[in-house]
A and B are shown apart, each in its own frame.
Chain A
Amino acid sequence: MGAHQPQRLDVGGAIDRSRAVELVVDGETFTGCAGDTVASALVANGRLRVGDSIYRRRPRGILSAGVEEPNAFALVNGEHNESMVPLTSLELVPGLDLTLLDGIGVLDQKVDPAEYDKMHVHADVAIVGAGPAGLAAAREAAATGARVVLFEQDFRLGGSLLADPASLVEGVPSELWVERVRGELEAAPEVTILTRTTAFGSYDNNYLIALEKRTEHLHGTARDGVSRQRLWHVTARQVVLATGAFERPIVFADNDVPGVMLASAVAAYIGRYAAVPGRRAVVFTTNDSGYATAHALLRSGAEVHVVDAREAGPSARVGTAAADAGLRISTGSAVVGIDGAQAVEAAWVAPIDDEGALAGPAERVACDVVAVSGGWSPNVSLHSQRQGALHWDDALAGFVPTVPVRNQHLAGAVLGTYWTEGCLTEGRAAGLAAAAASGFAAEQSGRTSGSEVDTVAEERVARAGTTRQLWVVEGRDGGYTTHFVDPQRDNTAADVLRATGAGMRSVEHVKRYTSISTGVDQGKIGAVNTIGLLTRVLSGEDTRAIPPGQPGQDGTGSRAASELSGIPAAPPSKPTPGAIGNTTFRAPFTPVAFAALAGRSRGELFDVARTTSIHPWHVAHEALFEDVGQWKRPWYYPRAGEDMDAAVARECRAAREGVAFMDATTLGKIEIRGADAGEFLNRIYTNAFKKLGVGKARYGVMCKPDGMVFDDGVVLRLEEHRYFATTTTGGAARVLEWLEEWSQTEWPELDVVCTSVTEQWATIAVVGPRSRDVIARMAPGLDVSKEGFGFMEFRETVLASGIEARICRITFSGELAFEINVPTWYGLKVWEDVAEAGADFDITPYGTETMHVLRAEKAYPIVGQDTDGTVTPQDLGMDWIVSKTKDFIGNRSYSRSSHQGPGRKQLVSVLPVDRSLRLPEGAQLVERVALGDYTGEGLPERPIPMLGHVTSSYHSQALGRSFGLALVKDGRDRIGQTLIASFLGRFAEVEVADAVLYDKEGTRRDD
């Protein structure tokens, strides 16, 4: 067993004494065993004390043995430090180096080098929890041949059985039974067992999300590429929730001193880990379950004094065994105080009355551990995340599910079934029912029947025994400032009283006022005790003021229950927790790292990067790239020593004076065919396409019904019934969806179909006065003369390379320009050919920045940059594109009053008086007079009316000055006016000018 572990028993437990594992905590080395958690190793070393509390710096100890732990957190030091890891669910593996935390974590600022991934699977039956109920369910479901996924957050199967390995299940020791079931499940081909996996979220349609910890227990032996954690997305036809229950602490004075522990945790440390938290124990319980802990302590050799809050003491069954064991029991009593600060030295035990008030003198009982049980709360998180109904069961003293969610099943302690046989029966029935509901009938296993399940339900209360709802125990000094309700948040009963004193009634308000349940454990420890406390301090009148709708609140879950039984729910005479309800249960059930949610979408794979077939050339020619949607587009191609301005100026000059070329592949492209294709396009675009000649092209704008510009592009008529439309780069998908929407839902009678061919075609724009020469070389068989190939026409041709191409004469720069379209897989070859054919003319590649300068000089708008969903074609100065003779989507809106008269924002250009000043896009435009004496310092006295804003802004190589496009209220009437551009705390004068600044007559495109 390695180094001496003073509190380790010599026998028993599910640990491997032959495999010692060392552990460093705050620099001190401890030795535990394989099979330990860090918490159990510390317990075995006699160490209960962990970090201090978050605000009050009170010494704290290990409270629990599971995911509900509110005190014992560590920073796990490593390549990337992980913070706020509960020691109670941290598996002991070699090499752990921990720093205990004082209730708050520290986020490591380094990049986490670990990998995370996701897996999507479908199941017939998904089972959450591998305690006796979950295992029984899995075994039955698996036997039907159904696809089963079993989730267990622990690194071992068994759940509650682990705390008592010697107990008998189906006639064999539970440890052996679990191994047998595991063997059966592993042999079934369609069963997936996921240990170390927490199902933390439950969503509509039985969609579960779970986090699997895959590599830490392998301590460095995992193969490359195996993710540290995996997010499982499981879609299940049927779900079985066998999620168990949480034990509640009791709210009494100094109940946070190290050594005060949950009774079930004490039993688990002894039974599962053979680690004894104390040698002299007080077991303080409100119910029968504390007696199991008392017996476990006795068996470990500890002295035990049971303090039972119930006047009548334990139920007969439990009481007999207690008497046989010679347990000392104080009934009708409570622990009313603790001696000791760093560790429990003694408990003060006193008789209490019905209200939990002291009813006699307190006795000092020396001890080193106080095991507490305030009753049990079914773990209903996943059930309630799906809006599953809950109700307060006053006999079981817990919120229990009323009915399962559709296509879900519940089994075991989550229902308040707190004995193993009952769990097994319910588990079997749930597993069979779930399999049957997903289409897998069982061969009769003989292990279950429906009536047995009913019997279990009837026996629940009797088997659980009476639980005294002791929500708070009066202290000896009358105060409540050390009665911890939520130890993690350092919230006490006094804080709850402060909240109700301030008028809080709803549990949601109390939660926010106090911060109870907002810590890592999310209310697993403190939520129900808070609700119980509220029943003590609120009157029936108070609770009637609470708005309905909380999980488990009377009138929600319990109404559903009474509807089922046909008995109307009686109004409570005094408030029960059901009058208050729970706060909302939300995912994640336990914390999940953002890195796990991100999965593999990090770094290079963070998002899709779409590239054209010509991309390798752009890279080879050292283009800088701009993200346009998901596309990587060349931004500009700097030559040695050039900055962006110099490169763009050179590229612009080439396009305006010589020849330049651009990869325009990213434009959306749609083929449209049908006898009614022309009619369809007439309705979609503001201008007409029905009479467009075959072989001709036309620019078009499409609008939404509200008349606002939605997208634009060029449409080619390929054949009588066949068109080819281009869209903006970013609009490709939504335009196709738009066309489908109208053809499918409004005009199904039209014969028209649309197919995306965006990726079929590479598109190369060849631009500038010398572009005709380049095209002539590229396509020797093509008449490229002004007369032979008119503006807005296209030709199908075969290039000199033998590659078939479609060449259009269209322009997005105002210059003479052509676009060559070839199937994508020829794109690079044709681009290289263009470069070669244009070499004599110093052909220059250009990117999106130059494209923007060229188009803005011509006031060609970019949809989504110069428009924002409130801009009509008329606002853009494009009345000419709005047909007066046919109807189309958006047309009706132009006669709305809001589109008539003055006040609309119109596209104009703005010329900064400082010719070198490039305005930031988004700069606000105001009238000089509106500024008054406001200088830009602080806030103006009154709001300054905004006339518009700058939508595009560049330096024009052709004009030798900066310029912008802007949407300005009544902009066209303001041409010639000087306005003030306001940006970044500065003001600058700008002159409003006509939108088109270059080649207004449009002569250059026909050069």
Chain B
Amino acid sequence: MLIIDCPHCGPRPETEFGYGGQAHVAYPEDPHALTDEQWAQYLFYRDNPKGDYAERWVHSAGCRKWFNAIRDTRTYEIARVYAAGEPRPDLSKGA
């Protein structure tokens, strides 16, 4: 089990959180301007990297806020949490 550092509530057990998949997949500005293929890309395709992954979590059993985390998919270590809407931080630049 992970202990996840909610940006608002601090460290809490994973059981309090919901998972939201890859972060920074914006809802297309105008879905109707997309081809079927482009729309399908938005709907169904997500990255699956080995290593750092920016993903969304929601503190369902706490403050109910969505936020983003960068988690290493090999070690499960969460290097950073940050607010929804913030750009993905550059981990090389310290905390």
Contact = CB atoms under 8 A, between A and B. Distances in A.
Q: Do A and B interact directly, with beta carbons closer than 8 Å?
A: yes
Interface of A: 203-205, 207, 235, 387, 705-706, 733, 736-737, 740-741, 744-746, 748, 887, 891-893, 895-897
Interface stretch (B26-34, B45-53, B87-95): B26-34
Nearest to A742: B27
A748 B11 CA distance: 25
Interface in B51-79: 56, 58, 60, 64-66, 75-77
Given A207-B3, A745-B56, A891-B31, A705 B66 contact: no
Nearest to B31: A892
A897 B40 CA distance: 11
Contacts of B43: 705-706, 893
19 contacts: A204-B1, A204-B2, A205-B11, A387-B75, A705-B27, A733-B60, A737-B60, A740-B64, A741-B20, A741-B66, A744-B65, A744-B66, A744-B84, A748-B84, A887-B32, A892-B31, A892-B32, A893-B39, A896-B39
B34 A892 contact: yes
Contact of A737 (B1, B18, B31, B40): B18
A887 B76 CA distance: 38
Interface centre among A736, A896, A897 (most CB of B within 10 A): A896
A203 B2 CA distance: 8
A895 B34 CA distance: 11
A737 B64 contact: yes
Contacts of B77: 204
Contacts of B1: 203-204, 207
B58 A897 contact: no
Contacts of A207: 1, 3
B18 A896 contact: no
A746 B40 CA distance: 19
Contacts of A203: 1
Given A737-B18, A741-B20, A896 B40 contact: yes
Interface residues of B, number: 28
A203 B13 CA distance: 12
Contacts of B75: 387
Given A204-B1, A892-B32, A748 B85 contact: yes
B39 A892 contact: yes
Contacts of A891: 31-32
A207 B66 CA distance: 24
Contacts of B27: 705, 746
Contacts of B44: 706
B75 to A, nearest CB: 7
Nearest to A747: B27
B85 to A, nearest CB: 6
User: Nearest 6 A-B pairs (CB), nearest first?
Assistant: A892-B31, A205-B3, A745-B84, A744-B66, A746-B27, A204-B76
A337 B42 CA distance: 70
B37 to A, nearest CB: 10
Given A203-B1, A235-B3, A895-B32, 5 more contacts: A207-B1, A740-B64, A741-B66, A745-B66, A748-B85
A151 B79 CA distance: 30
A737 B16 CA distance: 13
Contacts of A737: 18, 58, 60, 64
B52 to A, nearest CB: 16
Contacts of A748: 84-85
Nearest to A741: B66
Contacts of A741: 20, 58, 66
A737 B27 CA distance: 17
A206 to B, nearest CB: 8
Contacts of A205: 2-3, 11
A887 B31 CA distance: 9
A16 to B, nearest CB: 42
Nearest to B84: A745
Given A745-B56, A745-B84, A896 B64 contact: no
Contacts of A733: 60
A629 to B, nearest CB: 15
A698 B16 CA distance: 34
A204 B39 contact: no
A733 B2 CA distance: 22
A99 to B, nearest CB: 38
B70 to A, nearest CB: 15
A740 B31 CA distance: 21
B79 to A, nearest CB: 12
Given A205-B3, A740-B64, A897 B85 contact: no
A887 B40 CA distance: 18
A746 B76 CA distance: 27
A740 B57 CA distance: 12
A387 to B, nearest CB: 7
A258 B27 CA distance: 71
Given A891-B31, A896-B36, A897-B36, A705 B85 contact: no
A946 to B, nearest CB: 24
Contacts of B31: 887, 891-892
Contacts of B2: 204-205
Interface string B11-26: 1000000101000001
Nearest to B68: A745
Contacts of B26: 746
Interface centre among A736, A891, A892 (most CB of B within 10 A): A892
Nearest to B32: A892
Contacts of A706: 43-44
Contacts of B18: 737
Contacts of B39: 892-893, 896
B93 to A, nearest CB: 21
Contact of A740 (B36, B40, B58, B76): B58
Nearest to A740: B64
Nearest to A892: B31
A204 B58 contact: no
A746 B31 CA distance: 14
A733 B60 CA distance: 9
A748 B83 CA distance: 12
B42 A705 contact: yes
Contacts of A705: 27, 42-43
Nearest to B2: A204
A737 B62 CA distance: 12
B66 to A, nearest CB: 5
Contacts of B84: 744-745, 748
B43 to A, nearest CB: 5
Nearest to B65: A744
A235 B18 CA distance: 21
B12 to A, nearest CB: 11
A744 B3 CA distance: 23
